[in-house]
Amino acid sequence: MMELQQTLSSFWTGTLSWDFSMADYCTMKSGGRAAALVVATSGPELSGLIVRLEENSIRWRVIGRGSNILIPTEGYDGVLIILGGDFCAIAGDPVLSGDDGRQTIRVGAGCSAAKLVGWSVVHQLSGLEFMAGIPGSIGGAVFMNAGAWGSEIADVIEKVSFIDRRGRFHDVGREDIEFSYRRMRPGDQALEGAVVVGATFSLRPDSKRRIIERCRSHVAGRRRKQPLNVASAGSFFKNPPGDSAGRLIEAAGLKGLRKGQAMVSPKHVNFIVNTGRASADDIVELMREVQERVYRFSGVRLEPEVHLL
Ligand SMILES: Cc1cc2nc3c(=O)[nH]c(=O)nc-3n(C[C@H](O)[C@H](O)[C@H](O)COP(=O)(O)OP(=O)(O)OC[C@H]3O[C@@H](n4cnc5c(N)ncnc54)[C@H](O)[C@@H]3O)c2cc1C
């Protein structure tokens, strides 16, 4: 820790918190501490930071708004990076991109999904309604290929901007990126482990009334089905091909199962909720027990959607 402090302080003068409790940041309201949490505010600043971290062999990772991650109880012994400042911007006005009236807009990876959905309503541009009610950042949504109601972010992406692990910028067209269920992989090897710094979306004009109606209906659907008044990271497990994680968990009789203060939500069995002061260990133990018992009951091994860092 002392060594990390000395090295990082020698080249980083931006916003930084040492020994930061990630339970205060993540939507699960649980998890260990990050040795250092920094906020990068511009492309050049982030690029320079990555170069120095790599040179010094310091472990690092960019995170979004913590709505799909869990830091283990023992903590993260490197630098977690959040994108702030310039990265939160939606760039000016949308640009007409073809004969069919589609318009494109460039958005920084640090922008919240909620802000972009609100912006699309004001500008009467459709395509992002499915994101209404999904917490997190645009970087996180692109990295996770976030989706709901039969749509996913890949459907409206035209281009993604990255900074690779050597600090170099890349703009990559949708056709050169492989999007799959809750996963994104740029084809180019040089982009292995790269940071998403922005994305360009292609949206269709529609009336404000219709866009708002669709957003409202999605948010109402979430309120009906999801335990939104208690800390969680959304759906904990990925749906296996042709089935639903929730159906398998329910069939195995695990509704309401607890480990410490972590619980399989009775309202939505694919949500693991923190009913108070659940530790990351409680959550991981409960995750393993659900995996084990679903496997014994149905022969299917559930894979977590939540990233354990
Ligand atoms: C109540 C609730 C409901 C939810 N509903 C849905 C839903 O319907 N559909 C859905 O898909 N998800 C859902 N989620 C999960 C989550 O909101 C999404 O996955 C979201 O897109 C994650 O964004 P984030 O900024 O919080 O990312 P984080 O959770 O901070 O990070 C997730 C992963 O992305 C990586 N990452 C983040 N930003 C970047 C970046 N800029 N560059 C490279 N890697 C990055 C992180 O390292 C981590 O591996 C829900 C969560 C909650 C709490």
**For the chain, give me the number of helices (H) and strands (E)?**
7, 19
What is the rounded CA–CA span in Å between residue 204 and residue 97? 10
Identify the pLDDT of residue 2. 82
Task: Report the alpha-carbon distance of residue 83 to residue 42 in Å, rounded.
Answer: 8
Report how far apart the first and last C-alpha atoms of the chain are (Å, whole number): 18
The mean per-residue pLDDT over the stretch 59-63 comes to 98
Give percent of the chain above pLDDT 70.
Answer: 100
Residue minimizing CA distance to atom 49 of ligand 1: 307
Distance of CA 283 to the CA centre of its chain: 18
Any ligand 1 atom below 6 A from CB of 108: no
List the catalytic residue out of 182, 202, 214, 279: 182
- Looking at residue 96, its pLDDT comes to 82
Q: What is the pLDDT of residue 95?
A: 81
pLDDT tens, residue by residue, 87-98: 999 997 778 877
Q: Is 235 known to be catalytic?
A: yes
Residue 106 is part of a domain; what is its CATH number?
A: 3.30.465.10
Residue 128 has pLDDT above 90, yes or no: yes
In a domain, 286, yes or no: yes
Expressed in angstroms and rounded, the spacing between residue 197 Cα and the centre of ligand 1 is 15
Q: Which residue's C-alpha comes closest to atom 51 of ligand 1?
A: 234
Q: Give the pairing of strands 183-186 and 177-180.
A: antiparallel
- The atom number, within ligand 1, closest to the CA of 182 reads 11
Structure tokens belonging to residue 115? 């802000």
pLDDT for the residue 207: 96
Give me the amino acid identity at 202.
S
Statement to judge: residues 192 and 178 lie in one domain: yes
Q: Which atom of ligand 1 is nearest to the CA of 61?
A: 47
Compute the average pLDDT of residues 5-14. 95
pLDDT tens digits, one per residue of 183-239: 999 989 999 999 999 999 999 999 999 999 999 999 999 999 999 999 999 999 999
Distance (Å) from CA 100 to ligand 1 centroid: 31
Nearest of 102, 158, 96 to residue 126 by alpha carbon: 102
At which of 86, 119, 141 does a domain end? Answer: 86
Question: What is the number of alpha carbons within 13 Å of residue 233 lying toward its C-beta?
Answer: 31
Pair 101, 208 in one domain: yes
Question: In angstroms, rounded to a whole number, what is the distance separating the alpha carbons of residues 183 and 239?
Answer: 13
Domain coverage including residue 296: 245-308
Q: What would the mean pLDDT of 24-52 be, rounded to a whole number?
A: 98
In a domain, 47, yes or no: yes
Quote the tokens at residue 96: 């007409």
The predicted model scores a pTM of: 0.96
**Lookup: tokens for 144:** 């996770």
When pLDDT is cut at 50, 70 and 90, the band that residue 176 belongs to is very high
CATH number at residue 281: 3.90.78.10
Using the 3D structure, point to which of 159, 194, 225 is the last residue of a domain.
225
Q: What is the pLDDT of residues 272-300, one digit of tens each?
A: 999 999 999 999 999 999 999 999 999 99
Ligand 1 centroid, distance to 139 Cα (angstroms): 8
Q: Are 73 and 188 in a shared domain?
A: no
Shared domain check, 118 and 199: yes
- Does residue 236 sit within a domain? no
Do residues 276 and 167 both lie within one domain?
no
Among 264, 267, 246, which Cα is nearest to 256's? 264
**CA dihedral of residues 60, 61, 67, 68 (deg, nearest 10):** -110
Query: 204: which strand partners?
Result: 126
Average pLDDT of the residues in 146-160: 97
64 lies in the same domain as 75: yes
